[in-house]
Amino acid sequence: MKRFWKRAMIMILVLFLLYPALPMKKASAKVSVSAESAILMDQTSGRVLFRKDIHKKMRIASITKVMTAILAIESGKMDETVKISSNAVGTEGSSIYLKKGERIKLKDLVYGLMLRSGNDAAVAIAEKVGGSADGFVYLMNKKAHELGMLDTHFSNPHGLDGKNFTHYSTAYDMALLTKYAMKNEQFRKIFKTKFHSVPQEGEDWPRSWKNKNKLLFRYDYSTGGKTGFTKLARRTLISTASKDDLNLITVTLNDGDDWKDHMNLFNWGFKTFDMTTIVKKGKISGIKSKFYKNHLYAHRDLSLPLTNNEQKALSTEMDLYQPPKNGKWENPPSPIGKLYVKWGDKELAQLPLFYHKPPKKKEHGFWTLFKQVFLSALRIDVND
């Protein structure tokens, strides 16, 4: 950001930002996992709480289907009917046993995709939403780029291994994707569904599915997940859990003990961190600058999961544009600067700040009243 005001506001006392009494938790021993790559991420802020080779590019198997599902949901076609092609029926691997020519709602295909990991459902979804499997893969990679999944490349909608290493991602990127998807209410509903039944065209009985994600049945705080397995990728798993105000995401790649690892990571996260509100939406108080006082605002809350030690030693800094020489700003930059939350030299979060000008005062007095009466007589609307 150009022409930042010299850091005259550095090290703002966190006392005016933090609540006076923060819950304290005892330090918890570090957790370990069997996975080749693993991450524990806060769903609200995106803060990484645990990491193990989180940027390592790896095969991801069927957790790919989180991307397939969110694109289907965002397509606006969930209530439309899909005619199943021979291409979808012929897809190898896990299946919901679709039949060529049958008709089924896109919404039900997404349930089959997420609960039973149907590869045939993935191809049918791709053909409906993207026009073809290749067209859908383009949409997948486009969305990945938009989300900042910099170490990801998709080559199919289901996650099956190809001859070459062209379908891959990282634990970090898949956590980013899950963080985004969990903002969608319909995705959250499907993600945590344990059982689902759908009518089956041409049959007197419905298809009935039970979710493959065992954490939904074993772990009280589970809010959803997606399993994956191929011979090359081995076991992959995405899961989410919530307790009190803390919502967490765990991703493990190539993990032979993933159910246990996910529960251990969640339990460690819940014991070690408290969700702490650092900045409330609205006017920022405690500003000494005459130019910025009563004009500096945050457009959203800033909350972070923090340990006991972090809460004790937290600090904030501000970088703001230098005020104009004439002391007036007709069109201030947006945002006007940023607030940085730090623990020692480590930056934990950033928050954009905005400059709000006071509203213009309405004109009052004899001539204003005369103008209104005169123009009203001419039937001209006046907006002061």
Q: Is 163 a known active-site residue? A: no
Length of the chain: 384
| Strands 234-243 vs 222-230: parallel, antiparallel or unpaired | antiparallel
Residue type, 26: K
Q: 119-130 vs 106-116: helix axis angle to the nearest 10?
A: 140
Q: Which two tokens stand for residue 170?
A: 């990282």
Catalytic residue, candidates 65, 128, 143, 179:
65
Contact 192, 239 (CB under 8 A): no
Residue type, 213: N
Owner of token pair 């090290």: 11
Residues 6 or more apart in contact with residue 276 via CB below 8 angstroms: 18, 19, 22, 303, 304, 305, 306, 311
Q: Is 65 a known active-site residue? A: yes
In degrees and rounded to multiples of 5, residue 352 shows phi and psi of -70, 145
Contact 61, 70 (CB under 8 A): no
Interior angle at CA 124, CA 121 and CA 127, nearest 5 = 150
Contact 187, 69 (CB under 8 A): yes
Max Cα–Cα distance, the chain, nearest Å: 85
Catalytic residue, candidates 45, 62, 155, 222:
62
CB atoms within 10 A of CB 122: 32
C-alpha to C-alpha distance for 226 and 115, rounded to whole angstroms: 8
Q: Is 62 a known active-site residue? A: yes
Catalytic residue, candidates 37, 94, 117, 169:
117
Q: Which residues participate in catalysis according to the annotation?
A: 62, 65, 117
